[in-house]
Amino acid sequence: MWQNIYIFFDKLEDRVRGRLSRKPIGYAFLGGIGIVFFWRGVWHTTDMLMFRFFSLVPLDGMTQLYELPWWDGLLSLGVGTLMLLMSGLFVSNFIGNEIIISGLRGEKKTVDKTEEEIEMELDELALIEHNLKKISRQIARLRKQKP
């Protein structure tokens, strides 16, 4: 059952991202709104819980949170989460692609690496760059030879 729900929402996310990716400004705008809704929900829910559990009275000039319905923050949190999940921005916004990729590869975080490991990686990257330049020159030569 959960697998079917997951597959449905995964396909929905792919369709939404596919359409939004053709309009990057709209994509960014909707993503920004989703992030604001999400954090507004976190903020208001936390404030409401603090008010309810500790009977805090808001200071003069502040938003009168106790006048808002109890579900206000939860609704914003839910709408923001839904927007971010459907647009494919939830994980990439909060975790980031590099962390996910390095986790899949089983790599250490840069902070956990020793200086020697970082130097080895830099040497490997320099070798890869050198090889790419070499291949690029060979391709250019082959293109010149072709009539």
Residue range 1-20, pLDDT digits in tens: 788 887 887 788 888 878 88
Look at residue 22 in the predicted model and tell me its pLDDT: 82
Is pLDDT larger for residue 114 or for residue 76?
76
pLDDT tops 90 at residue 64: no
Question: Is the distance from CB of 80 to CB of 41 less than 8 angstroms?
Answer: yes
Q: How confident is the model at residue 63 (pLDDT cuts 50, 70, 90)?
A: low
| 143: phi then psi, degrees, rounded to nearest 5 | -65, -35
Look at residue 130 in the predicted model and tell me its pLDDT: 92
pTM of the model: 0.56
